[in-house]
Amino acid sequence: MTHSKMARLILPLIAFFSVKLVNAQNSAKLPVKLRTAYTGIEVGSKGVKMSILELKNSEATVDFRILKDTAVNTDFISFSPETFSATLNGLIGLYITAGNEYGIPSKRIFTVISSGVKMQAEKNNKLDWINNLIDSFRLKINDPYRKVDVVDVQQEARLSHLGIVPESKRFNTFLIDIGSGNTKGGFFPYGDLNTFRLFQLNWGTKSISNATEKRCENDNSLDNYNRQLSKVLGGAENTDIIYAVNSSGSYKLSDNIAVSGGAAWAVANLTHPEMTDNPIVPVTYKEVEKLFEKLYNNFDALAPTFLAQTITRSSEREQAIKNIKAVQKVFDQKSLMAGTGLLLKIMRQFASAYETKQFFLVKNGSVGWISAYVDQTVEN
């Protein structure tokens, strides 16, 4: 299976990407003879995520569909006995689900520890927690030689690019993933896959919000939060973001800027709720800027029923309302301001009067890197 084939899994219908997504709830078990399914299970900073991917072969093409994409929140990086047990149980539970409910044989189930977990474990001298988790998992599933990879940030960023960006756009697209604690991404600068240039910031949605709340001290009003957020974002821009973008060399070589992560997913659903079937949403700097103004000045205008009222088809309107509710369940008003503000600061580095860059928000980017990992593992 080639990277170009895998790229068709994730990317959209709108001039840039193309993908078929299947809602897990609507995915009846397909006869094994009609499909080849693989499962990627990732232990991340917030929890354990499982993606089940179906590979359909035909004479003309190879096409992936997402059969199941689910997660269990466990907060492993708190490194407490409670979160360790929750993570272990989540890992075992999803492994069993893949086998028993979806009939995926164990040889097609791949398990990975994310770079975010690895970084936090190194920072807190807790690498033994990762080793203990892997050993306990192997013991519980009675498979002492089960392969569990621990990836670093370079590997994960590169795999994200391979899993999200199609081959036709591979060498002119800069991918950025905004996480909760950091931001990572990069691009291939020399027109081949031999060199991947990493882009990394020590700022993410949660770390920006935490730094802002710390500055607020005893004044928790929204006005004060906005003032302090402006200072935190300004500092991040001046000390980190400008340098990171300029030093990457991505501006001159990239026509397209694709952004994934929770903040991108949220902004995509709030700026274009009507694009319910598009996993990738094109946006402009002005649209995101307008959203930030609403988040601060007119949050009621982002109520699900109000935001979706102009969508004429009832089925699409209901799905849009569901998507917006999901966003507001994950992010409150202040955290949405933090994530959107960080996105704006990054986009600003590519918004020039002399050259127009195309911005795309990836809704399901979390599936990208694990999909590419499965692809490469199967190839090898």
Q: Quick one: 351 exposed, middle or buried, by C-beta within 10 A (0-12, 13-18, 19+)?
A: middle
Map out the domains of the chain as residue ranges: 3-154, 166-366
CA 16: distance to chain centroid?
18
Contact 340, 291 (CB under 8 A): yes
Which one is predicted more confidently, 126 or 71? 126
Winning range, highest mean pLDDT, from 9-13, 167-171, 174-178, 276-280: 174-178
In percent, how much of the chain has pLDDT > 70? 86
pLDDT band at 380; cut points 50, 70, 90: low
pLDDT band at 372; cut points 50, 70, 90: confident
In percent, how much of the chain has pLDDT > 90? 56
pLDDT of residue 338: 96
Give the CA distances from residue 262 to residues 172, 187, 361, in Å, rounded to whole numbers and listed in that order.
24, 20, 10
Residue 304 pLDDT exceeds 60: yes
pLDDT band at 10; cut points 50, 70, 90: very low
Residue 293 pLDDT exceeds 90: yes
pLDDT of residue 46: 78
Q: Quick one: 155 exposed, middle or buried, by C-beta within 10 A (0-12, 13-18, 19+)?
A: middle
pLDDT band at 327; cut points 50, 70, 90: very high
Mean of the per-residue pLDDT values for the chain? 85
Say which CATH class 166-366 falls into: alpha beta
Whole-model pTM: value is: 0.79
pLDDT of residue 32: 40
Q: Do domains 3-154 and 166-366 have the same CATH topology?
A: yes
Question: How many Å apart are CA 260 and CA 179, to the nearest integer?
Answer: 8
Rg of the chain in Å (alpha carbons): 20
Question: How many Å apart are CA 91 and CA 72, to the nearest integer?
Answer: 9
pLDDT band at 60; cut points 50, 70, 90: very low
- What does the pLDDT average to over 29-43? 66
Q: Which numeric CATH code is attached to 3-154?
A: 3.30.420.40
Contact 310, 256 (CB under 8 A): no
Record the tokens describing residue 62, joined without a space. Answer: 């190879």
Neighbours of 252 (CB within 10 A): 7
pLDDT in tens, 93-138: 999 999 998 889 999 999 999 888 898 899 889 999 999 999 999 9
Residue 90 pLDDT exceeds 90: yes
Contact 266, 361 (CB under 8 A): no
pLDDT of residue 135: 98
